Structure 1
Amino acid sequence: MEISKSSVDNGAEERERLVSTLPMRQGFWKPYVLYQGYWMSPQVAKSVMLLQDQFKPRADDIILATCPKSGTIWLKALAFTLVNRSCHAVAGDGHPLLTTTPHDLVPFIEKPDREIHPVTELEALASPRLLATHMPFAQLPQSISDLGCRVVYICREPKDVLVSLWHYVNTVSDHFIELEKAFELFSQGGSFFGPVWDHSLGYWKQSIAEPHRVMFLKYEELMADPAKHVKNLAEFLGVPFTVDEVELGAVEQVVDLCSFHKLKNLPVNSSGKSDLAGWMPMDNSSYFRTGTVGDWANHLTQEMAHKLDSIVQDKLKGSGLTF
């Protein structure tokens, strides 16, 4: 059904009005508003509202969900490679990952800014669609659950998320934020799409309730035994490795192609720009730093680490989810 210009204009005015009523606080480099329990920029809040109203999922959609700086690019690369390996040989010189960024191969649903780039752009994608989001589970359109769309979520140790986010913001923004200030904001839940613990907890609980539909991964476990988890991911995505593939080393080939080191050093990821937001181009290299587990120890004091650990443990108490 075609949406009239007057309806679009009225919707934009209503979203603007609603955002103006939301609680606001200082974010990592710009003010954030609290929408449905999570902090985000006013622009992103309006984009999420529009998506919730207009996005039309398909039953065979696969949604890759992450909190920012928790392994988004890695998950996109792995899922794309696994789902498309029948038409793109993993060991071939012409694999799309060698010339196209994972962000361009697996688009976000809530960005670029959906007030500028219509949600209907997603309808042009062929099925089955691989789509990504930073939205918490509670903000996903209910129709995604109703249709049984599969969801893969990856979380990361919160201290490493904080350090990665701090580096990223200071790389892409003209506004420099001190680590102490970033720590304070993060500890209060005031990071992008935070609180991080609530973000992870929402998907964790759903993965327990619907393990056949929601897969929950931990960055650190995937890093420790990538072959094991890549095989499990392929199974969940409906494209399991055959016996012959395993014997011929296909699992290891996927792991190698999608490794942080491999992706970071590809020309497409070490140069050029991407405009994921639709209004702020960023260097592709800004999405790759170290990918190291435990890098937080090089930046946070023991006092900071203990304080954040205590907050996270308290927030996750009784859930079964630990870091």
Structure 2
Amino acid sequence: MEDELILSSLSKERGWAIPDLYLFQQFWCPSTLIKEVNNFQKQFQAKDSDIFVASFPKSGTTWLKAIAFAIVNRQCFSIHNHPLLTSNPHQLVPPVEPVYRGDVDFPTIEPRLFGTHTPFPSLPNSIMECNSKIIYICRNPFDTFVSSWIYYDKIKREPLTTLKIEEAFEMYCDGIIEFGPWWSHMLGYWKESLAKPDKVLFLKYEDLKDDANFQVKRIAEFLGFPFTQEEENNQVIESIIKLCSFEEMKNLEVNKSGIIHRFADKKYYFRKGETRDWLNYFSPSMTEKLTKIMEEKFGESGLSFMI
């Protein structure tokens, strides 16, 4: 009854993958997640050792979850007999919001690793008040749009019809997309990373692609698991990069079939893993419009992307 009262008071739009999105706490939340976000905020008790992999959807979440898990657990597992070879990264680093639902395993070994798409202002107070760490990854909004449009069309639920790219683009420009507006999602974590660099590490997908070695070392140091000189000499960083690479993960049997999160095929998490794929989809007018929106929304924040 409480959930129905909440929903009846909120603005509603068609979702990309789920029929109804509601403007809940200033972000477009799938109807199926509102109760879970509420429970997350009220019940979750963070620990100082917790690690949260936060992201806007389709920004490199799967990749960063794999990297974080491999870094933190590198003393526990051999590269040749590693959980990432037999489990999807989203199983090893589960989304935190559904943990009270009953069908998602709650990590018990510390440090606990969780994933979240929840915008920064909606995270529980317990996360803010302890020494837990947040790694946030974002992606060029052009590529995020294309990846989202293709992915959500594959996993969309009945009775949704396919969104034409022009329709999806207009919704995206208005911020209407699961966990959007995308600009406020990015800016929330960006500003906190500037204010509290020991709390939030802000990463760009493109930077991770350009120099994985540097970024993996940076992640490890931020999390408190720096690589020793001996590990560097033994190419442990390179081994982790290879283990977590798009090509390696896409070709694993465990990621080729099966369902995760109750409705998403694992294989849909691995499409191209490229940058600048948007060039194959955008018209000149779309490029101009999104460029202007980015300039307007990001303004003087210091957050910018190469187009």
CA distance in 1, matches of 2:103, 2:297: 37
Return the match for 1:131 from 114, 122, 126: 114
Number of equivalenced pairs: 301
Identity of aligned residues (%): 43
Contact 1:89 1:95 in 2 (8 A): yes
Aligned residue in 1 for 2:36: 47
Q: TM-score, normalised by structure 2?
A: 0.95
Return the match for 1:17 from 5, 13, 29: 5
Tell me which stretches of 4 or more aligned residues in structure 1 moved more than 6 Å: none
Using the TM superposition, give the Cα deviation of residue 89 of structure 1 relative to its aligned residue in structure 2, in angstroms. Answer: 2.0
2:23 is aligned with 1:28 = no
Alignment of 1:137-176 (within 5 A): 137-173=120-156, 175-176=161-162
Using the TM superposition, give the Cα deviation of residue 308 of structure 1 relative to its aligned residue in structure 2, in angstroms. Answer: 0.8
CA distance in 1, matches of 2:3, 2:302: 37
2:218 is aligned with 1:232 = yes
- Please tell me the residue identity of whatever aligns with 2:303: L
Three-state SS of the structure 1 residue aligned to 2:7 is helix
CA distance in 1, matches of 2:102, 2:120: 23
- Please tell me the residue identity of whatever aligns with 2:78: A
Aligned residue in 2 for 1:299: 281
CA distance in 2, matches of 1:184, 1:31: 17
CA distance in 1, matches of 2:64, 2:103: 25
Using the TM superposition, give the Cα deviation of residue 64 of structure 1 relative to its aligned residue in structure 2, in angstroms. Answer: 0.7
Q: TM-score, normalised by structure 1?
A: 0.90
CA distance in 2, matches of 1:34, 1:100: 34
Please list the CA deviations of residues 279-320 of structure 1 after superposition, one character each: whole Å capped at 9, or x if unmatched: x42211011100110001111112102211110111010100
Three-state SS of the structure 2 residue aligned to 1:217 is strand
Using the TM superposition, give the Cα deviation of residue 118 of structure 1 relative to its aligned residue in structure 2, in angstroms. Answer: 8.3
Contact 1:15 1:49 in 2 (8 A): no
Three-state SS of the structure 2 residue aligned to 1:111 is helix
- Please tell me the residue identity of whatever aligns with 1:290: K
Aligned residue in 2 for 1:212: 198
Unpaired runs of 5+ in structure 1? 1-12
CA distance in 2, matches of 1:199, 1:23: 18
Contact 1:109 1:133 in 2 (8 A): yes
Contact 1:152 1:216 in 2 (8 A): yes
CA distance in 2, matches of 1:138, 1:184: 25
CA distance in 1, matches of 2:77, 2:42: 35
Contact 2:52 2:115 in 1 (8 A): yes
CA distance in 2, matches of 1:41, 1:273: 19
Contact 1:28 1:185 in 2 (8 A): no
Contact 1:63 1:151 in 2 (8 A): yes
CA distance in 1, matches of 2:35, 2:164: 28
Unpaired runs of 5+ in structure 2? none
Aligned residue in 2 for 1:8: none
